[in-house]
Structure 1
Amino acid sequence: METNRYRWARRMKRLLQATYKRVSDCEKKCLDDREYARLLKCYRKILELGTLEMPAIPDKPAGKRGRIAKSDAHNLLERLQKHEASVLLFARDPLVPFTNNRGERDLRMSKVKQKVSGCFRSEIYAHAYCRITSYLQTMAYKGVNPMIAIQMALAGELGGE
C-alpha cells in the first residue's frame, strides 16, 4: 500500500515503530500510564493531521449505487481511528504482539491444505486438523521436537506446565 506520500502516514509509522522499540526495551514490556497517555495524545494528533491532509471524498453521483471508492490511505486512516484501542494494545498488554505475523504464519498451513485438497471433508475433520496443528505449533514454540510432542500426546502427557 502506497501511503508514503502522506506526511501523517509517515509520522504514524515512525510513532508505532518508536513505541514498539520503547516497549521492547522496557523491563515490564508495556508502557506506564503516563507514557501511554503521551502515546495516545500523539496518536490522536497524527490522526487529526491525517484527516486534514486527506483529500475530500467526492459525493456519490446521482443514479450510482454502492459505496464510493476511497484510497488505501483513506481506508487506513479510518481503520486507525476506529480501532485505536486494538492498534495500541501492544503498548498496554505484554501478551499482545506488535504484529499478527505469528497468527498469519500459523494459519498458512491450513490454507495450503485447503488449496491442495480443495476442502476438508467435514467440519469434524477441520476441527481435528486445527487442534492437532495448534498443539504441534505450541510445542514447537516451546522448543519440543514434533515427534516427541506426538509421543507425549499419545502417552497422555500434553506438555502443559
Structure 2
Amino acid sequence: MYEQIRQRIEQSPVIGGDETGIKINSKKAWLFTFQTQELNFLTVSLSRGYEMINNLFKNGFPVSVYVTDCLPAQLKVHAKLHQICTAHLLRELNNFIDVFKYEWSMKMKQLLQDAIELKSQLKPADYLSPNEKVMLIQNRMVQLLQTNLSDKHKKVQTFIKRLNKNHDAILTFLYYPKVPPDNNGSERAIRNAKVKMKVSNQFKTLVGANRFAVLRSVIDTTIKNSHINRK
C-alpha cells in the first residue's frame, strides 16, 4: 500500500511537499511529506537535497501543481506549475515591516492578503475564463517586483530577487480552484513526527524511522479518506 500511495501522489493534480528535521541515533536527518487531500506519503532521508526527491519521483510531477515553501530543492522539482507558500512569504514580510518599516514590504503584504481574500470569493466558474480581479492583482505584483530596492537592506534585496526568480509560482492559486495559497496541509502532515521528536527526541535506528514513515503514511491516508467518505 505504501508504494501505491507514492504512485497515486505522482499522478495527483495538486501536491503539497514539506520536510522537517529529525534525529536518528543523535544524527541529523529529514522526514519529507508529499501529500494531497486524500493521500500522505512520508519518507526519511539523510539529505535535504534535490537528489532525494528526484530519486523518489524520477519524472517529477509533470501533471501536478506542486505547493511548497522556498527550499531550493523543492523549487527545483520538475512540475507542471509551482505554488510558493504565501504564509511563509507573509511571515518574512511582517518581519521586514517590524524591523525596517519599508513601504514596499507593506504593499507586498497587502497584495498577498488581497489575493488570498479574492481566492476565498472565487467560484468554480470564475476559473474558466480570464478574471478581471485576478488580472489586476497580477499586474500589481508585476509592478511591485520591478521596484528598485538597491538602497534597502540586503535581506529585503534577497527577498525580492527570490520572488522575481519564482514570480510564476506566487499567484498560481488564483488560476486553479484546488490549489491552496499556503502549504498548511503539508505542515499538518508532518505534525505527528514533530510531536514524536518532542516526546522521544530521536529515532534509535534508520530502520525504525522508516517504519514510522510507512505506518504514518498508511494511517494518515486512511484517516484522510475516512473523512472524505463521511462528507
TM range (shorter): 0.5 to 0.7
1:19 corresponding residue in structure 2: 115
- Cα offset, 1:94, TM superposition: 2.2
Secondary structure of residue in 2 paired with 1:33? coil
Alpha-carbon distance change, 12 to 103 in structure 1, aligned in 2, over 3 angstroms: same
Q: Greater shift after overlay, 22-31 or 94-103?
A: 22-31
What code does the residue aligned with 2:96 have?
Answer: T
Amino acid at match of 2:187: E
The answer as to whether partners of 2:173 and 2:180 remain within 8 angstroms in 1 is yes
User: Cα offset for 1:136?
Assistant: 3.3
Distance 1:25 1:139, change over 3 A: farther
Are residues 1:42 and 2:135 paired? Answer: no
Identity %: 26
2:130 to 27, 33, 37: 33
- Would the aligned equivalents of 1:54 and 1:74 in 2 still touch at CA under 8 Å? yes
Match of 2:219 among 125, 136, 160: 136
By how many angstroms is 1:46 displaced? 0.9
Structure 1 unaligned segments of length 5 or more: list them.
58-69, 145-158
Residue 123 to residue 96, structure 1, CA distance change in 2 (3 Å): farther
Structure with the bigger RCO (C-alpha within 8 Å, sep 6+) is 2
**Would the aligned equivalents of 2:149 and 2:157 in 1 still touch at CA under 8 Å?**
no
Q: Distance in 1 between matches of 2:211 and 2:174?
A: 35
Q: Which residue of 2 aligns with 1:100?
A: 183
Q: Larger Cα Rg: Structure 1 or Structure 2?
A: 1
What pairs up with 1:78-93 in 2 under 5 angstroms?
Answer: 78-93=161-176
Residue 3 (1) aligns with residue 92 (2): no
Count of residue correspondences:
130
**CA deviation map 1:106-152 (0-9, x unaligned):** 213213324544443444443332233234334444564xxxxxxxx
In structure 1, C-alpha distance between the alignment counterparts of 2:160 and 2:126, rounded to whole Å = 25
RMSD between aligned residues: 2.9
Provide the TM-score with structure 2 as the length reference.
0.46
**Judging changes above 3 Å, is the alpha-carbon distance between structure 1 residues 105 and 47 closer, same or farther for their aligned structure 2 residues?**
same
**CA–CA distance in structure 1, aligned partners of residues 207 and 182 of structure 2:** 30
Residue 33 of structure 1 aligns to which amino acid in structure 2? P
Query: What is the TM-score of this pair, normalised by structure 1?
Result: 0.63
Residue identity matched to 1:128: R
Match of 2:209 in 1: 126
Q: In the alignment, what sits opposite 1:148?
A: none
More strand by share: 2
